[in-house]
Amino acid sequence: MIRIALIVRVIPTSTLTWYAPFLESSLTGMSLDPWSDWLYQGGAASAFPYGYVMWLVLLPASMLCKAMSVPLSYGYSVTLLVADVVMLVFLRKYLSSRDRLLLITYWLSPIVIAATYALGFNDLIPMVFLVAAFYCLRKMRLLWCGFLCTAAISAKLSMVIAIPFFLIYLLHNQNLKQFLQFYLKGLVLGSGLLLLPFVLVSSGGLYMLLNNPEIGKIYQLALDLGGGSKLCLVPLAYCLMFYATWRVKRLNFELFSATLGMAFLLVVILTPVSPGWFIWAMPLLVSYQLQSDRFAFVLVGLFTMVYLSCSLLLSPQVIATMDILRHWIPFVPQSVEKNTLSILQTMLVALGIILAFRVWRETVIRNDFFRLSRRPFVLGIAGDSGAGKDTFSDAMRDLFGRHSVATISGDDYHLWDRQKPMWQVMTHLNPMANDLDAFTHDLVSLTDGKGIQSRHYDHSTGKMSRPFGIRSNDFIIASGLHALYSPIMRQCYSLKVYLDIDEDLRRFLKIRRDVQHRGHSLEKVLASFKRREADSAKFIWPQASHADLIFSVQPIHPSVLEDGGHHPLRLKLLARSRHGYNAVLLTRILIGVCGLHVDMAEEADGTEVALTIEGEPTADDIQMAVKMICPSLSEFLDFYPKWEGGVLGLMQLITLSHVNQALKKRFI
Ligand SMILES: Nc1ncnc2c1ncn2[C@@H]1O[C@H](COP(=O)(O)OP(=O)(O)O)[C@@H](O)[C@H]1O
Ligand SMILES: O=C(COP(=O)(O)O)[C@H](O)[C@H](O)COP(=O)(O)O
């Protein structure tokens, strides 16, 4: 109602003197270059410094008004109303918030109402295209996203400042990088269709765009450095914001929208006297209020009130009233409004900076991705030979994607090739037979974000490869016989897993693997079991006591192991978790959604919880369960994560829910 009343009652000066006459003239001439025609007729250069998209969006309602002999200014305002509704719809879609809150924070926001309907600014139109581009990005329609970005730029050139943030998001999200080309194609397509024709056809339009006084405002707030040079604060703030975003190694959608919103907010508050630009900050202000506490409402409320006071002081009506007042009371000095305006502008900038600071603190620093970008997530996996370390490590790597994972394996740190006589003296399980110092050094380097030089132990030849480089990554998986052996190693890990497989099953699987894939004779493998027994007990098994999570895979029918593998091997999983893991939701979903049989036992003091899980979940079951238990984690995973079924899938699920918990803990 307020909007309709304002449309009917108030015709802003800018609409009356610039936009409506320009649209009127473009309808009369009906040429592809209304800008040059307008200038030729002696129109002001500041009347319509926008591209084709803005013109085309405003044209239909203007035509309708002309056909109905209604003033074109109504058509202009009605188009803005439509843009306003579309904006609300997109915000609702991508913020997926409760309607009532969205109505309060956006629809009733005096910033939008005042800037659009009372002052006539058309910034809603480019913002609608930008928010639509956001939505397409969320839905991974990247061609459309790129195209809509150029539409926003064509509507208002200043929107170009958003593009570097879109690029950082796609470049810094390793699983999205592969799709960057679609976004670029959208940009090229949009530039070819919407921007290039404007540059080629309309010399008048270009002239109006380049002489737009709004663009000059960016340089207005500056510190005089002497000698005629200035330090311009708006480009400075934008560059710093860009750098801060670039430094975040991995961005998820939430981080991306928060940092872009903050860049907009900073540019807006530091650009003097541009009430229309505040609409750019609206998506950020709305989402901040929806996610934060009551204080956010208070802060945005104050910000809005100061904004309104500033806009009011700048409005021609107030200026005219003050002039009349001065006529009667001559001692009211000119500086009254100027000083009041300065105080209000200062308050506005202060509140804006506080808002940006709070958004950074609450949205960015709390974000799991941000925490991950500061320190990689390091998963340590230990267990005896044949316990399933490589299989489990590969399954975890295939969830996050090779592009996001760095792996090191304890086998690559054996001190000697297979043929060396030292193996007659000690077994591979003896820490002395392995370069654990080098393993620790490499683990610390990768955890610290530094690359390493490593070699690979080739089980088919029994020899070490030439050294090669491994760069650190968001996720590091360190597996090996001694991966949890020393305190320094253990300190590196974000999550420590020990594989405590049933001994008969381990021997069964190891024999099968060593004979079929590593070229060993059955006798040799059987003999190695005997030789290694003591070292297993001495060096490997005790590492279980340091683990956060212990997986024990057990055969449901142990007799199957003796019949030479002729019957299918059915397994059950015992998962023991320490340090206060809450397994209730997991248990409920394993039973209710995956249809498994689960027994949960908890230590009286709550330090350990043990789940015994039987049944054969499919890969789809596991994927669905992960979505339900840790929905926010899906953005960390590869675009096409490889889900496993059975026991291995359960290990993926339980580990992911521990990763989720460990990432949350980083904040505490
Ligand atoms: N969850 C599992 N279910 C079935 N077979 C498995 C499982 N985990 C490991 N295996 C098999 O056991 C053998 C040993 O596993 P591997 O990952 O090589 O152990 P490790 O790296 O600890 O020596 C492999 O042949 C592998 O296919
Ligand atoms: O004890 C292990 C550890 O590897 P895993 O944990 O993968 O079993 C292997 O026997 C040695 O690496 C030697 O390998 P090979 O016998 O091929 O020389």
Where are the extended beta strands (E) located within 509-602? 549-555, 571-578, 597-602
3-state secondary structure of 362: helix
Residues in Cβ contact with 351 at an 8 Å cutoff, skipping those fewer than 6 apart: 299, 302, 303, 306
Q: Are 500 and 610 in contact (CB under 8 A)?
A: no
Indicate if ligand 1 lies below 6 Å from the C-beta of 386. yes
Q: Locate tokens 């079929």: which residue? A: 516
Pairing of strands 475-480, 405-409: parallel
Q: Are 274 and 345 in contact (CB under 8 A)?
A: no
CA distance 412 to 436: 10
Indicate if ligand 2 lies below 6 Å from the C-beta of 557. no
Q: Which pLDDT score is estimated for 294? A: 86
Pocket test of ligand 1: the residue of 389, 477, 509 to mutate, having most ligand atoms within 8 Å of its CB, is 509
A 10 A CB-CB count for 251 gives 26
- On average, the pLDDT of the chain sits at 88
Q: Are 517 and 391 in contact (CB under 8 A)?
A: no
Indicate if ligand 1 lies below 6 Å from the C-beta of 570. no
CA of 426 to the centre of ligand 2 (A): 13
For 218, list phi and psi in degrees, rounded to 5. Answer: -60, -30
Report the nearest-CA residue for atom 2 of ligand 2. 385
Q: Report the atom number in ligand 1 closest to the C-alpha of 651.
A: 1
Q: Are 540 and 384 in contact (CB under 8 A)?
A: yes
Q: Residue 659 corresponds to which amino acid?
A: V
Report the nearest-CA residue for atom 7 of ligand 2. 385
3-state secondary structure of 52: helix
Closest CA to 334 of 323, 320, 347, 318: 323
Q: Which pLDDT score is estimated for 635? A: 80
Q: Report the atom number in ligand 2 closest to the C-alpha of 459.
A: 17
Indicate if ligand 1 lies below 6 Å from the C-beta of 245. no
Pocket test of ligand 1: the residue of 389, 390, 391 to mutate, having most ligand atoms within 8 Å of its CB, is 391
Tell me the CA distances in angstroms from 633 to 253, 394, 416, 472, 584, one per residue in order. Answer: 12, 19, 41, 21, 19
Q: What is the tens place of the pLDDT at every residue in 94-114?
A: 777 677 888 888 888 888 888
Indicate if ligand 2 lies below 6 Å from the C-beta of 570. no
Q: State the alpha helices, DSSP H only, in 41-71.
A: 52-67
3-state secondary structure of 469: strand
What ligand is nearest to the CA atom of residue 426? 2
3-state secondary structure of 231: strand
High-pLDDT (> 70) share of the chain, %: 94
Q: Which pLDDT score is estimated for 330? A: 64
Q: Are 246 and 89 in contact (CB under 8 A)?
A: no
Q: What's the DSSP call for residue 414? A: B
Indicate if ligand 2 lies below 6 Å from the C-beta of 261. no
Report the chain (668 residues): mean pLDDT per 10 consecutive residues.
73 77 82 84 83 92 87 88 93 79 87 86 94 92 96 93 93 86 96 91 84 75 80 86 83 85 87 79 88 88 89 65 62 66 87 90 77 84 97 97 94 95 95 97 96 95 94 95 97 96 95 91 93 96 96 90 77 90 89 92 82 94 93 85 96 94 71
Q: Which pLDDT score is estimated for 324? A: 62
What ligand is nearest to the CA atom of residue 381? 1
Q: Are 315 and 162 in contact (CB under 8 A)?
A: no
Residues in Cβ contact with 330 at an 8 Å cutoff, skipping those fewer than 6 apart: none
A 10 A CB-CB count for 15 gives 23
Indicate if ligand 2 lies below 6 Å from the C-beta of 518. yes
Indicate if ligand 2 lies below 6 Å from the C-beta of 532. no
List the end-to-end C-alpha distance of the chain, in Å, as a whole number.
Answer: 47
Indicate if ligand 1 lies below 6 Å from the C-beta of 617. no
Closest CA to 135 of 180, 88, 176: 88
For 573, list phi and psi in degrees, rounded to 5. Answer: -120, 130
CB-based contacts of 68-72 (< 8 A; 24+ apart in sequence): 71/11, 71/20, 72/20, 72/23, 72/24, 72/27
Indicate if ligand 2 lies below 6 Å from the C-beta of 416. no
Compute CA 225 distance to the chain's CA centroid, rounded to the nearest angstrom: 38
CA of 515 to the centre of ligand 1 (A): 13
- For 68, half-sphere exposure in the C-beta direction (CA atoms, 13 angstrom radius) is 12
A 10 A CB-CB count for 254 gives 19
Q: Are 485 and 431 in contact (CB under 8 A)?
A: yes
**What does the block give as tokens for 474?**
């968001």
Report the nearest-CA residue for atom 17 of ligand 2. 459
Indicate if ligand 1 lies below 6 Å from the C-beta of 337. no
